Amino acid sequence: MKKVLLVLSIFLSTLSFSQSYKTAIGAKGGYPGYGSLNAKHYFSGSSAIEASIGGGANFLWLQGLYEINQSLPTDGLNWYLGVGPNVGLGSTSNNSGLYLSGSGVIGIEYTFQDLPINLALDTGPVLEIIPSLGFNWRGAVAVRYTLK
């Protein structure tokens, strides 16, 4: 039993994470959202939620991601893996109404030590569900102001 607890504690210590900010707010742009307001908030250890809201002339969409973050050997540099839903309302040249999809994401972020700025780059699959089934790949860049 002691050996199991020792192995478990060593394993959990390798997953520990010390983020350099609690909340970051800014802008995220890329495909398919092109531009959105974005916020990321850590709620425990390596777990964070990221939310984006964006749109265009006839379209509004929301995205929510649950992310697991891990530090890399360079101070302020982290990688993350996440998943979450996307919901949209509006009309495009092909459809109008409700849009629903799910996203997976893998990314890397850097938080400056002397500036309250966070930069992130991510990519991942999008499974489109409504109005029709489909698959897409996206990528985005975020620039955020960090709040300790």
Distances (CA, A) of 10 to 69, 130, 145: 18, 44, 34
Position 6 in a domain: no
Position 90 in a domain: yes
Total domains present in the chain: 1
pTM more than 0.75 = yes
Position 1 in a domain: no
- pLDDT tens digits, residue range 80-117? 999 999 999 987 666 678 989 999 999 999 999 889 99
Rounded Cα gap, residues 50 and 30, in angstroms: 15
- 2 versus 118: the higher-pLDDT residue is 118
Position 2 in a domain: no
3-class DSSP state for residue 124? strand
Segment of 6-15, 33-42, 80-89 carrying the highest mean pLDDT = 80-89
- What CATH code is carried by the domain that includes residue 25? 2.40.160.20
Position 8 in a domain: no
Distances (CA, A) of 144 to 6, 55, 83, 131, 141: 39, 19, 20, 32, 10
Position 12 in a domain: no
Domain of residue 74 covers: 18-147
